[in-house]
Structures are given as structure tokens and as C-alpha cells.
Amino acid sequence: MPYPSRPQLTALPEFAGTATTRPDPDVQRRVEAFIVQQYAAGRSLRELAELTDRSFSAVRNILSRHGVRRREAGAEPLRRTSSL
């Protein structure tokens, strides 16, 4: 049995349709602040790309420009308890 497809997020209304080759500087600042804040809160690059109507690589480039160190790929490893 195949896995169900992952849910696709829709762009937030304030960011929908704002991805252009020459974006409004004010909108771009808000997008970048949102991406940096939400990535630090634990959202994935894929989620941020969908929520801001940007590409995966655009989100990655924004994080790089702001000096944000990216997390490793994949889920966080489970921690072993000492009671085992």
C-alpha cells in the first residue's frame, strides 16, 4: 500500500503572489524576517517555501544571507534514556 501524499501548505495571504524578480523591499524584509523567525522555531525549509510562496532554494539563500546555520537533514534523533 503506498503512502499518502504529504499535505501541501498554502501561501499566507500577506505573502501570496509577492515572489517576483524585483520584489517590494518592504515585503521582502517581512518575508525574510518571517523565514528567519519561523526556521528558528522549528519549521522546515519546505514549509517555509510553501508558506511564503517562494522556492526551496530562495528560502535556503535567505537563511544563508542572514547567517543562519541550517539543521541537518531528517528528523532529530531519538534520545536514549538511561533506564535501558
Q: What is the pLDDT along the chain (84 residues), one digit of tens a residue?
A: 788 888 889 999 999 999 888 889 999 999 999 999 999 999 999 999 999 999 999 999 999 999 999 988 876 666 666 555
Number of domains in the chain: 1
Residue 71 covered by a domain: no
Residue 9 covered by a domain: no
Residue 55 covered by a domain: yes
Residue 33 covered by a domain: yes
Per the structure, the complete domain to which residue 49 belongs is given by: 25-65
Residue 19 covered by a domain: no
Residue 57 covered by a domain: yes
Q: What is the pTM of this model?
A: 0.80
Residue 39 covered by a domain: yes
CA distances from 26 to 1, 20, 54 (A): 47, 13, 16
Residue 46 covered by a domain: yes
**Whole-number pLDDT of residue 77:** 63
**Whole-number pLDDT of residue 33:** 97
**Whole-number pLDDT of residue 21:** 87
